[in-house]
């Protein structure tokens, strides 16, 4: 339910003609929500520009997966390349937007999504380069963890993926923008008041002049 | 110039204690047959360099589970609980690099260079301050080139000389590893005569390849994995 | 995502004083039509980066002879007496690098890195001692990445998105320059719809390309040069 | 005449199965002298592995030249690649032999073939990387310059292409090997005595136990 809410709202962020990378998990699912009239190039860091939706059993090619390991289709105009070229594209900032998950994001736009010391450290993957070098970083995550603790913090506590990289955060409760003035609350989920969102958030939220709903 | 070799003689080039780059991002590009022969021959004390650890009970995970591997250099092993467990209990030494940095470290050896200057993770815990220099007024990190004795890769097609092509996302680290390692062993189920691959279509030129091994890709690892496609 | 542009509007992206990488090793890969339009539009104070200076009266030699070029960064201009003369009389500033070092400096920018460590020419006159460091017990030279505002390249085929393929030795520096420059303009006589190029056959992925210009390759520069083949 | 002598002798240096680079000028002409039963891969630094003999007008492809600018054919099993890969192959020492010309070579194996200060400096090209990184460097040149001055010196005077890189030198007068002991005279051209060669040479030549002729 909340997942679908996040994805529907996130799909509106993608512009026609953009080149985007969708991180493993929630962001990958965004493919199914993209507006049909939008022509988008999806980059997968294992060496594809132009993946499409997931493949069904008939279409699936055992040699064609996305970075999350799912069999995918490709669109006309797709290209395959090696991992050095794939990350050249990332580090040379040729992607317009990366959509990523988060363990923690803070009001300065710092992002932590790769390691929980002592608990979870399966490796860095492509996250650090994507976060540091993509022009726009869109974060999708639940507003709070399973204990109800805010993931949107004053200051990240976990090892950072990249410093001051996040542009916008979309959660099941709110849409927030990282600005020079601080973290601005733009929209709240239907049924919630700005006060409820602010109360559930560790970061200092600056209410926008007009707060929309989604 | 004919580099065709049997599975046995190709893998027999590998010594105990060797450092081995293994192609593949997940399954695509992983040389499962070469790995099986390495398990059969039983070389030990190996250092493996691969994007990931494959999944439990397949690919390099079998080498690791079999105790032949001392150290793994990788980017992400999140899909393999068994290997994560071995890392956590200390029975396997693991080093991680950001994915594109690992790729570039490998290519740097392949290009005959010794390192490159980057700002990825400069101020993060992955950077040892001793690798940071101030150069042209900017802080940069020196990433050393990463070398290996052997590369094991899976190609879609190979000719007798060792010209290779890759299919779809099975390319990934393979062309880079072919450039970097001293001994490069490529498996393929399509061995063709020289000239059958158009010169413009070659992904890895023959000069980088030591041995071409014809293999059967009937093993289930080369097929579709359940649950990874839509119904 | 459709990057097709007219010759005029593509070249109009170039400003006076721009740094421009130009593809081609000799004639193959040289974007003669893009160069002609640059002569017609007349941008000046340019820095050109190309393997060679083409031959007298063709390609970038025409830009240089026309006084539009302030500096040339190259590897070898021995086939062009006119440009050698301009270098010797001081009317053109020229910097030389070893050929593979020039290629690697360009690719290094393309890979988002800042430089690389090499031992090529370490103890020769091409090395400024201030670029030499001792690192891991070894003397190495830091080669800075080479950047340009614009790349002008010739492709065999391009689709509307900017996926490119090259033919034979017309590949040379083109894929590297496409990665390195901010604005990448590719000319081709074969514009095709997306999907017409197999994903495995793409040499330069579309993300690196800004503009695709359809050109006629009827100009004599694209044809055979007399005296360069056997009778 | 002397050119043909050099080339005929040089062709005997090429082993079946080798990967070689032939420098502009004299070395390129070696293609026509290779034994027909030898299977050789010729590397051209502009991005080919597997060039063949020069193309005739009918075969010539305007997009397919060698590093000297001649239209060439390719052999089955040839590959094209970009300039970064081409020099990766060189710097990673994947070539067995490079055959090069010389302005000067000295008895320590130092090579000068790219620059004559004040007179000739058209650029470095690929020479420095080839000379420094190829396992075996074979030098082909006339024994003396047009003024009769020896090109085979005690010590090079021109800017070096690479230090201590040369293995063997073949001139119109002699075949010489760079060894830890010094420059060894292996063969002299028919009609010449070792003494005549030694007299025409600035470098100290160490006569081999048996000196052949060619």
Q: What average pLDDT does the structure give for chain B?
A: 97
Q: Which residue of C has its CA nearest to A49?
A: C205
Closest of B10, B53, B14 to residue B30, by C-alpha = B53
Q: CA-CA distance, C68 to C17, in Å (whole number)?
A: 9
End-to-end CA distance of chain C: 47
**Residue D170, H or E segment:** strand D168-170
Within 8 A of B170 by CB-CB distance, chain A residues are 63
Q: CA-CA distance, C148 to B128, in Å (whole number)?
A: 32
Provide the shortest C-alpha distance from residue D129 to chain C (in Å): 6
Q: Quick one: tokens of B113?
A: 């260079």
Whether the CB-CB separation of C192 and C159 falls below 8 Å is answered with yes
C13 dihedral zone (left: phi>0; alpha: psi -120 to 50; beta): alpha
Whether the CB-CB separation of A102 and A132 falls below 8 Å is answered with no
User: Which residue's entry shows tokens 């009769």?
Assistant: D148
Find the DSSP H helices in chain D.
2-11, 26-29, 83-91, 127-133, 194-199
DSSP A83: H
Taking CB atoms and an 8 Å limit, are A91 and C205 in contact across chains? no
Coil vs helix vs strand at B186: strand
Provide the shortest C-alpha distance from residue B229 to chain C (in Å): 21
Taking CB atoms and an 8 Å limit, are C168 and D63 in contact across chains? yes
Q: CA-CA distance, D135 to B87, in Å (whole number)?
A: 41
pLDDT in tens, D174-212: 999 999 999 999 999 999 999 999 999 999 999 999 999
User: Do chain A and chain D touch with ≥3 beta carbon pairs under 8 Å?
Assistant: no
The catalytically annotated residue of D4, D13, D32, D45 is D45
Note whether D78 contacts B: Cβ–Cβ < 8 A: yes
For B163, residues 6+ apart whose C-beta sits below 8 A from its C-beta are B194, B197, B202, B204, B205, B206, B209, D77, D79
Within 8 A of C75 by CB-CB distance, chain D residues are 123-126
- Report helix angle B99-110 to A83-91, nearest 10: 120
Taking CB atoms and an 8 Å limit, are A79 and C202 in contact across chains? yes
A45 carries an active-site annotation: yes
Q: Quick one: tokens of C26?
A: 């000799």
Within 8 A of D42 by CB-CB distance, chain B residues are none
**3-state SS, one letter per residue, for B102-123:** HHHHHHHHHCCCCEEEECCCCC
Q: CA-CA distance, A58 to A45, in Å (whole number)?
A: 24
Nearest-by-Cβ selection for B142 from C112, C135, C145: C135
**Residue A9, H or E segment:** helix A2-11
Extents of the domains making up chain B? 7-113+145-215
Yes or no: is domain B7-113+145-215 CATH 3.40.50.720? no
pLDDT at res. A2 = 84
Q: Which residue of D has its CA nearest to B1?
A: D17
Q: CA separation (Å) from B2 to B131, D11, D48? A: 43, 22, 19
Note whether A43 contacts C: Cβ–Cβ < 8 A: yes
User: Which residue's entry shows tokens 């949107």?
Assistant: A152
Q: CA-CA distance, A86 to C112, in Å (whole number)?
A: 11
Local confidence band at B231 (pLDDT 50, 70, 90 cut-offs) = confident
Q: Quick one: tokens of B220?
A: 């289930």
Taking CB atoms and an 8 Å limit, are B194 and D94 in contact across chains? no
Taking CB atoms and an 8 Å limit, are B169 and A122 in contact across chains? no
pLDDT in tens, D81-134: 999 999 999 999 999 999 999 999 999 999 999 999 999 999 999 999 999 999
Q: CA-CA distance, B153 to A212, in Å (whole number)?
A: 53
pLDDT at res. A129 = 98
pLDDT of C125 strictly over 90: yes
Q: Which residues numbered 145-164 in D keep a CB inside 8 Å of some CB on C?
A: 159-163
Nearest-by-Cβ selection for B104 from A62, A84, A133: A84
Best residue in B199, B206, B209, B210 to probe D by mutation, most D CBs within 10 Å? B199
Closest of D61, D81, D66 to residue D125, by C-alpha = D66
pLDDT along chain A (214 residues), means of 10: 90 95 92 87 97 94 96 97 98 98 98 95 96 98 96 98 98 98 98 97 98 96
Q: What average pLDDT does the structure give for chain A?
A: 96
Global ipTM? 0.97
Note whether C128 contacts B: Cβ–Cβ < 8 A: no
Nearest-by-Cβ selection for C199 from A41, A80, A85: A80
Q: Which residue of B has its CA nearest to A84?
A: B103
Within 8 A of C29 by CB-CB distance, chain D residues are 63
- Report helix angle C99-110 to D83-91, nearest 10: 120
Within 8 A of D135 by CB-CB distance, chain B residues are none
Taking CB atoms and an 8 Å limit, are B27 and A55 in contact across chains? no
**Phi, psi dihedral angles at B55 (to 5 degrees):** -105, 165
User: Which residue's entry shows tokens 């980088």?
Assistant: B208
pLDDT at res. A1 = 58
Note whether C108 contacts B: Cβ–Cβ < 8 A: yes
Note whether A169 contacts C: Cβ–Cβ < 8 A: no
Taking CB atoms and an 8 Å limit, are C194 and A74 in contact across chains? no
pLDDT in tens, B65-108: 999 999 999 999 998 999 999 999 999 999 999 999 999 999 99
For A180, residues 6+ apart whose C-beta sits below 8 A from its C-beta are none
Provide the shortest C-alpha distance from residue B163 to chain D (in Å): 7
Within 8 A of C135 by CB-CB distance, chain B residues are 114-115, 142
**3-state SS, one letter per residue, for A99-168:** EECCCEEECCCCEECCCECCCECCECCCHHHHHHHCCEEEEECCCECCCCCECEECCCCCCCCECCCCCE
For B155, residues 6+ apart whose C-beta sits below 8 A from its C-beta are B164, B165, B166, B174, B186, B187, B188, B204
The predicted model gives D1-18 an average pLDDT of 92
User: Do chain A and chain B touch with ≥3 beta carbon pairs under 8 Å?
Assistant: yes
Taking CB atoms and an 8 Å limit, are C142 and B119 in contact across chains? no
Q: Quick one: tokens of D21?
A: 């680079």
Taking CB atoms and an 8 Å limit, are B138 and C168 in contact across chains? no
Closest of B99, B94, B203 to residue B158, by C-alpha = B203
Tallying the residues shown for chain D, one arrives at 214
Taking CB atoms and an 8 Å limit, are D129 and C97 in contact across chains? no
Q: CA-CA distance, D73 to C169, in Å (whole number)?
A: 12
pLDDT in tens, A30-41: 999 988 778 999
pLDDT at res. B147 = 98
Closest of A95, A48, A141 to residue B172, by C-alpha = A48
Q: Which residue of A has its CA nearest to B230?
A: A56
Taking CB atoms and an 8 Å limit, are B110 and D88 in contact across chains? yes
Closest of B107, B208, B109 to residue B161, by C-alpha = B208
Within 8 A of B207 by CB-CB distance, chain D residues are 19, 41, 43, 49, 89, 94-95
Tally of CB atoms within 10 A around D127? 25
Q: CA-CA distance, A1 to A20, in Å (whole number)?
A: 25
Q: Quick one: tokens of D23?
A: 């420098």
Provide the shortest C-alpha distance from residue A74 to chain B (in Å): 10
Burial class (CB within 10 angstroms; exposed 0-12, middle 13-18, buried 19+) of A194: middle
pLDDT in tens, C64-94: 999 999 999 999 999 899 999 999 999 999 9
Note whether D88 contacts B: Cβ–Cβ < 8 A: yes
pLDDT at res. D1 = 58
Within 8 A of A50 by CB-CB distance, chain C residues are 199
Note whether D76 contacts B: Cβ–Cβ < 8 A: yes
- The CATH superfamily holding the domain D2-213 is Glutaconate Coenzyme A-transferase (3.40.1080.10)
End-to-end CA distance of chain A: 13
Q: What average pLDDT does the structure give for chain C?
A: 97
Within 8 A of B166 by CB-CB distance, chain C residues are 200
The catalytically annotated residue of A13, A45, A104, A129 is A45
* Chain centroid, CA B120 distance in Å: 22
Taking CB atoms and an 8 Å limit, are B99 and A129 in contact across chains? yes
Taking CB atoms and an 8 Å limit, are C179 and A88 in contact across chains? yes
Closest of A16, A21, A17 to residue A136, by C-alpha = A21
DSSP string covering chain C = ---B--HHHHHTTPPTT-EEEE--SSSTT--HHHHHHHHHHT--SEEEE-SS--STTSTHHHHHHTT-EEEEEESB-TT-HHHHHHHHTTSSEEEE--HHHHHHHHHHHHTT--EEEE-TTTTSTT--GGGEEEETTEEEEEEE----SEEEEE-SEEETT--EE--GGG-TTHHHHHHH-SEEEEEES-EE-TTSS-GGG-SB-GGG-SEEEE----SGGGSPPTTSSB-
Taking CB atoms and an 8 Å limit, are D129 and C99 in contact across chains? yes
For C113, residues 6+ apart whose C-beta sits below 8 A from its C-beta are A91, B104, B116, B117, B118, C145
Extents of the domains making up chain A? 2-213
Q: CA-CA distance, A72 to B129, in Å (whole number)?
A: 41
Tally of CB atoms within 10 A around D56? 12
The predicted model gives B190-195 an average pLDDT of 98
Coil vs helix vs strand at D159: coil
């Amino acid at each position: 339910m909340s997942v679908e809410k996040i994805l529907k709202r996130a799909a509106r962020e993608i512009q026609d003609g953009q080149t985007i990378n969708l991180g493993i998990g929630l962001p990958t699912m965004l493919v199914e929500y993209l507006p049909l009239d939008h022509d988008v190039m999806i980059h997968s860091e294992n060496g594809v520009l132009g993946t499409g939706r997931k493949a069904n059993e008939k279409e699936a090619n055992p040699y064609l997966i996305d970075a999350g390991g799912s069999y995918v289709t490709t669109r006309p105009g797709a290209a395959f390349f090696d991992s050095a070229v794939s990350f050249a594209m990332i580090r040379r900032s040729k992607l317009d937007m990366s959509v990523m998950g988060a363990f923690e994001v803070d009001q300065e736009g710092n992002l932590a999504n790769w390691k929980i010391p002592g608990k979870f450290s399966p490796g860095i993957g492509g996250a650090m380069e994507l976060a540091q070098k993509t022009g726009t970083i869109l974060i999708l995550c639940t507003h709070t963890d399973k204990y109800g603790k805010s993931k949107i913090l004053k200051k990240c506590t976990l090892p950072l993926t990249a410093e001051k990289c996040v542009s916008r955060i979309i959660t099941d409760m709110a849409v927030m923008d990282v600005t020079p003035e601080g973290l601005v609350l733009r929209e709240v989920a239907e049924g919630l008041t700005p006060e409820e969102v602010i109360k559930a958030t560790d970061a200092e939220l600056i209410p926008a002049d007009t707060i929309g709903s989604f | 110039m004919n580099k065709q070799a049997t599975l046995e003689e190709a893998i027999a080039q590998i010594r105990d204690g060797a450092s081995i780059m293994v192609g593949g991002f997940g399954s695509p590009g992983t040389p499962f047959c070469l790995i099986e022969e390495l398990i059969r021959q039983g070389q030990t004390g190996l250092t493996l360099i691969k994007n990931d650890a494959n999944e439990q009970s397949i690919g390099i995970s079998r080498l690791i589970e079999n105790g032949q591997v001392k150290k793994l250099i990788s980017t992400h092993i999140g899909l393999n609980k068994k290997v994560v467990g071995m890392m956590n209990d200390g029975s396997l030494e693991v080093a991680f690099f950001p994915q594109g940095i690992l790729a570039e470290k490998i290519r740097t050896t392949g290009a005959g260079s010794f390192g490159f200057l980057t700002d990825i993770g400069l101020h993060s815990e992955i950077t040892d301050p001793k690798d940071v220099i101030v150069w042209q007024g900017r802080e940069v990190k020196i990433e050393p080139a990463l070398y290996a004795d052997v590369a094991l890769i899976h190609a879609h097609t190979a000719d007798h000389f060792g010209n290779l092509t890759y299919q779809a996302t099975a390319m990934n680290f393979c062309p880079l590893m072919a450039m970097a390692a001293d001994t490069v062993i490529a498996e393929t189920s399509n061995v063709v005569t020289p000239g059958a691959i158009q010169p413009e279509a070659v992904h890895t030129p023959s000069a980088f390849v030591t041995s071409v091994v014809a293999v059967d890709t009937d093993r289930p690892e080369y097929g579709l994995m359940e649950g990874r496609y839509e119904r």
